[in-house]
Chains A and B, each alone.
Chain A
């Protein structure tokens, strides 16, 4: 995972709330078994509409998304993050994210910053009146700058540290392997085991 400190890219105003993961990537795309190549699946249903924001040339190369509240609700599919990432998005801003989506994002290097609704509205207006305007995301000082708008965003400290360091999750946990082994030694015998298999 690459380290994330600052990033600048075209801002995209997505004027929708409750963008669930079925909209970010419809279930039909979940059948793939690879970990990359989901850029065509992002917002697939909406992209059939020529008016959709990503179909407008000024936003088509966008990489910083500004969305309404409750972004990423619904299914736990991590493909939603992969689709955003593969399309080129490095950061998403909303006033509220679904928990699972947010967790998934942090692990894939996608920044999810919480910004107040009124700030999102101001940024939407800026991006709409000046399509192609760039946004600069600074994870070090937790700010996002769009034109002359500069707002602070929230992200939990742990995820921020992980993103700044570009740390792999499993490697991090395996530093505590002895604790895991000790825990397993004390695990009660009534707790479930799938093997050996028992039939009904």
Chain B
């Protein structure tokens, strides 16, 4: 009998081109390479210098997202460096024969929203991109990893990547989420539990009844933030929900290919008896909405909790980090999280900018009034998501509420375009990183779910939809 394997091991084994020996890494084949303007120019530069072609343009796709403007997209990009990068991507795509979706194109958007939307992301494949949030695609049961620019060049030239073996970690989430608690709360709680370094060297597999019942969008939210726990990748085993999401998408397999694919995909879930190198358990039944108080995604608590006291933290490094974080965030231990007032609410990013996220937030704010002085920015993940939202009238809900309805891109998640917070400004953000200065110099970020973002925009302080019902 063959050894029982985990999902990640199966996908890995099926992509082995050369098995590494004597400590050298395995050489893995890459099924899909996603490219954007920020981490690719130097890779193309390297190819040009060495006179190398792109080996498989037909397995490569580019989109503009990281620093594209979300207003006035029909005008020339004002920021010179952004414009330079965008133009470099366009000319590189042309020179090397790569498909590109530029600003204004109906398929343009955040690379991790575009891949799944086109049906290019599918179970059992390997996906890479020069962006750490490539882990998003693991929601389909793909092995999806963020890579650096040298590796981008390597994949462009060879369609393979030398990779070191990984360890496996099962994240078991059992139970049923209560109303108002979502995938974002699960992943923030997981990271708070295992820490920003807890996943290092591991591929995480999210399992259990709470995960199985999630939509593809929600699974993507969870896998997206695997990297915030330091993991190599995060995965969810493919099932009927995965197949239903994929079927009929532009690049999904058709006819006999579809049948062959599904037959293979059904063999992918982790075998009975397979062992993980580590296991983590989280009870979905008792989970509250989760928010961050500090400057790394692991510094999070229940929304019903208070800002922690660094003095209570045993580990000296973590304690010092907490002290520094509280100073940067201008927060006092013991303050109720719900008493923290924000200036801006950002709904967007590859974590939470899909149609389901917009629907959830719109349902909360519909007919409500935005808190005085709070700015809300809504940035759909892709041009398609924006169109879909408009077809459903969600744009009207956001506009009537007083939110800014913008064009697709990474936007304020990392503030590479003009969408930034001012120094000292505080945001409730559905994005993935609350690092110092991430959303603009001196910016203060609280990571939240779309539901919490929406409720916060109404009350002006960190809130969940439940707080609205109580009339608090």
Residues of A within 8 A of B (CB): 17-18, 20, 22-23, 26-28, 30-35, 45, 68-70, 73-79, 81, 96, 98-100, 103-104, 107-108, 156-158, 169-170, 172-174, 176-177, 179-180, 183-184, 187-195, 197-200
Main secondary structure of the interface of A (DSSP, over half): loop
One of B58, B67, B157 near A195 (C-beta < 8 A): B58
Inter-chain contact A169/B260, CB cutoff 8 Å: no
Q: What residues on B are CB-neighbors of A26 within 8 Å?
A: 437, 441
Residue of A nearest to B88 (CB): A33
B18 touches A192 (CB 8 A): no
* Across-interface contacts of B150 in A (CB, < 8 A): 78, 104, 107-108, 169
Chain A residue, CB-CB nearest to B117: A200
Name A100's contact: one of B22, B41, B148 (CB within 8 Å).
B148
Complex Cα distance A189/B18, Å? 21
B146's nearest neighbour on chain A, judged by CB, is A76
B148 touches A31 (CB 8 A): no
Query: Nearest Cβ distance between residue A171 and chain B, in whole angstroms?
Result: 9
Q: Which residues of A contact B118 (CB under 8 A)?
A: 198, 200
**Contacting A73 at CB < 8 Å: which of B18, B25, B197, B415?**
B197
CB-based contact A194/B61 at 8 Å: yes
10 tightest CB-CB pairs across the interface, nearest first?
A31-B81, A78-B148, A33-B41, A190-B253, A190-B261, A104-B148, A190-B257, A198-B250, A76-B132, A195-B58
Chain B residue with Cβ nearest A106: B150
> What residues on A are CB-neighbors of B88 within 8 Å?
33
Whether, in the assembled complex, B454 has its beta carbon less than 8 Å from a beta carbon of chain A, the answer is no
B259-291: CB near A (< 8 Å → 1, else 0) gives: 011001000000000000000000000000000
Interface string of B114-133 (1 = CB under 8 A from A): 00011111100100001110
A198 to B252, CA, bound (A): 10
7 A-B pairs within 8 Å (CB atoms) are namely A18-B196, A30-B416, A107-B150, A169-B162, A173-B27, A173-B158, A173-B160
Tell me if B407 counts as interface (CB < 8 A to partner A).
no
Within 8 A of A (CB), among B154-175: 154, 157-160, 162, 164
For residue B50, which residues in chain A have a CB less than 8 angstroms away from its CB? 170
User: In the complex, which range does the number of interface residues on chain B fall in?
Assistant: 35 or more
Q: Which residues of A contact B99 (CB under 8 A)?
A: 194-195, 197
- The reply to whether B230 and A98 form a contact with Cβ atoms under 8 Å apart is yes
B354 at the interface (CB under 8 A from A): no
- Whether A18 contacts B296 by the Cβ 8 Å rule is yes
Question: Is B260's CB under 8 angstroms from A188's CB?
Answer: yes
Are A20 and B131 within 8 A (Cβ)?
A: no
A49 to chain B, nearest CB (A): 12
A35 touches B230 (CB 8 A): no
Cα separation A98 to B198 with both chains bound (whole Å): 10
Least Cβ distance of B180 to chain A in Å? Answer: 29
Q: A98-B230, A183-B17 are in contact. List 18 more A-B contacts (CB 8 A).
A: A27-B414, A30-B39, A33-B41, A35-B46, A77-B38, A78-B39, A98-B200, A99-B230, A99-B232, A174-B157, A180-B17, A180-B158, A183-B29, A184-B159, A191-B122, A192-B121, A194-B59, A195-B99
Within the assembled complex, what's the spacing in Å between the Cα atoms of A32 and B81? 6
* B320 and A192 contacting across the interface, CB-CB below 8 Å: no
Report the bound CA distance from A58 to B232 in whole Å.
Answer: 38
B57 within 8 A of A: yes
With contact pairs A31-B82, A191-B31, A194-B61 given, residues A157 and B159 touching in the complex (Cβ less than 8 Å): no
Given contacts A27-B416, A98-B200, A100-B147, contact A33 B249 (CB under 8 A): no
- Residue pair B42, A35 in contact (C-beta under 8 Å): yes
Using known A-B contacts A22-B435, A180-B17, determine if residue A30 contacts B125 with beta carbons closer than 8 Å. Answer: no
Whether B81 pairs with A103 at a CB distance below 8 angstroms is no
B-side contacts of A188, CB under 8 Å? 260-261, 264
Complex contacts, B117 vs chain A, CB 8 Å:
200
Shortest Cβ distance from residue B184 to the other chain A in the assembled complex, whole angstroms: 19
Is B472 close to A, CB under 8 A? no
Check B257–A189 contact: CB distance below 8 A. yes
Given A20-B296, A193-B59, A200-B250, A28-B23 contact (CB < 8 Å): no
| Residue in contact with A76 in the complex, picked from B25, B39, B79, B441, CB distance below 8 Å | B39
CA distance A45 to B249 in the complex (A): 44
Inter-chain CA distance A179–B31, complex, in Å, is 16
Q: Name the CB-closest residue of B to A174.
A: B158
B336 beta carbon closer than 8 Å to chain A: no
Query: Does B321 contact A17, Cβ atoms closer than 8 Å?
Result: yes
On whether the beta carbons of A193 and B58 are closer than 8 Å, the reply is yes
Separation of A99 and B84 alpha carbons in the complex (Å): 30
Residues of B within 8 A of A179 (CB): 17-18, 27
B158 contacts A192, C-beta separation under 8 Å? no
A199-B107 in contact (CB<8A): yes
Q: How far is the CB of B136 from chain A (nearest CB, A)?
A: 13
